[in-house]
Amino acid sequence: MVWIYGGAFVEGASVVFPAEGISTIGDGIVVTLNYRLGMFGFIQSADGKLPGNQGLWDQHLGIKWVHDNIKAFTGNSNDVTIFGESAGGASVVYQALYPGNQGFFQRVIAQSGSALAYWASHELPNAEAFITKKACDQAPDPIECLRALTPGQLQDNDTLPWAPFVDKDFVIASPKDIVYGTDSTTSSARNFFASLDFMTGVNNFDGALYLRDVWPNILHYSDMNTFVLTREEFIGIAIPAVVIDIIKPKNIRTALIAEELLNIQYTDWQHPNDSSTLLFSLTNMSSDVAFFYPAVSTVKGHASLGKGKSYLYELSVVPTTHALQTPNWISGSNHADDIQYVFGYPLYAGPRSTGNYTEEERRLARGMVTMWTNFAKSGDPNTPEDARQFTNATWAEYDLDFQSFLQFTNQGALSGSQFQARRMQLWSDLLPTSKGFHG
């Protein structure tokens, strides 16, 4: 199993994710790799001198190294699974859409991230703003000016769009067009994706990440625990921000219709003015647009291709410890809370264990480690080890008829179907976006 970490394509390191728990308990070999981030990994200029997607190429070379060398570590080069979370989840989907990886891995697990998410790509070359920021715009050769700077001077994790780019090389077309398209130019990428077994899922409060990183700036709050969201802010600031930044309507009329649809869907009309209810609505909207619909769209696209197996999950656990700063009014799994269970941290006294886990969480971790490593071994999370002894459930494949998914809770796992059907249908059929989503 090859782990690709997340961090919005601007931060992260493999050392943050000790893998001895999942490796030992799940009886497998786990490789964690690093890749270039931020400007170093994803700068792209209009003239092609800075081609972009350096971080994706790094990941590809790491995966290729595993294929070429894992036998020396008693591994099987024909039995490889890549997995990752957040930007790492988007990354493994990008790798699954690159036919140059043919034969290097057979299965993919994308946790709270997809290449089809709006945040997982940028549309225009991003070097020009960076060149100006670094005062190289007046230089005879701006690229050489950049290259003359020290790594410290080049380091930049600002809001510039450091993310993968459709370069017609590694990313042959938009991920949406690859997965759902029929064009012959994308057929090799689509066929490779179809051939893989694919698992993806979300945390039920994934969108709480945006309460820390996005909404405070837009709504002018400094502390997520002191949010007092008003009805006027919800419909006058938050909803228009989603429409402008994500849906990107072509005219005012479309924008107004989209705003009204979001208002109708995400308002609790029994408590339309209640601040706490509006905060949950804001979190749901953030979850849907950034994580839930991209995951559902990706697994549905994979299932529609009808070759490899497809699985969908939701983590709805109330953890003793959140991975990220989390508002005190959220009772569920924030973004990145899945990692501690997938890596088995509650099961041993390792460097990432808090030591405060409940017996329920230890049982959950044992079940998730078992299902993740089962999937890596067989393409089926239910076998070879019987995971029902820990989860009390069988994980059914996702298909277009039943659209089954498995919900992990503190009490075990529950089988479900049609994940958030009404909200997913809204984004699928009524609110197609300029990129990323299928609509």
Secondary structure element (H or E) that encloses residue 199, with its range: strand 197-203
Whether 434 is catalytic: no
Report the alpha-carbon distance of residue 320 to residue 210 in Å, rounded: 21
Report the alpha-carbon distance of residue 430 to residue 439 in Å, rounded: 7
Contact predicate 372/100, CB 8 Å: no
User: Which residue is listed with tokens 């009886």?
Assistant: 27
Q: How far is CA 46 from CA 54, 122, 123, 429, in A?
A: 15, 13, 11, 34
Report the alpha-carbon distance of residue 142 to residue 101 in Å, rounded: 34
DSSP 380-430: -TTTTTTTHHHHSS--PPP-TTT-EEEEEETTEEEEEESTTHHHHHIIIII
**Of 14, 23, 77, 86, which residue is the catalytic one?**
86
Secondary structure element (H or E) that encloses residue 82, with its range: strand 81-85
Contact predicate 355/335, CB 8 Å: no
Cis status of the peptide bond prior to 384, with omega within 30 of 0: yes
**Angle formed by the axes of helices 252-266 and 275-287, to 10°?**
120
Strands of the 31-33 sheet, one edge to the other: 31-33, 2-4, 81-85, 107-111, 197-203, 310-315, 404-409, 412-417
| Pairing mode, strands 81-85 and 310-315 | unpaired
Q: How far is CA 153 from CA 133, 145, 147, 248, in A?
A: 11, 12, 10, 34
Question: What DSSP designation does 101 have?
Answer: G
Find the angle CA(280)-CA(286)-CA(289) to the nearest 5 degrees.
Answer: 140
Residue partners of 205: CB distance under 8 A and separation at least 6: 283, 287, 326, 330, 332, 333, 334, 335
Half-sphere exposure of 350 (CA within 13 A, CB side): 18
| Max Cα–Cα distance, the chain, nearest Å | 67
Known catalytic residues are: 86
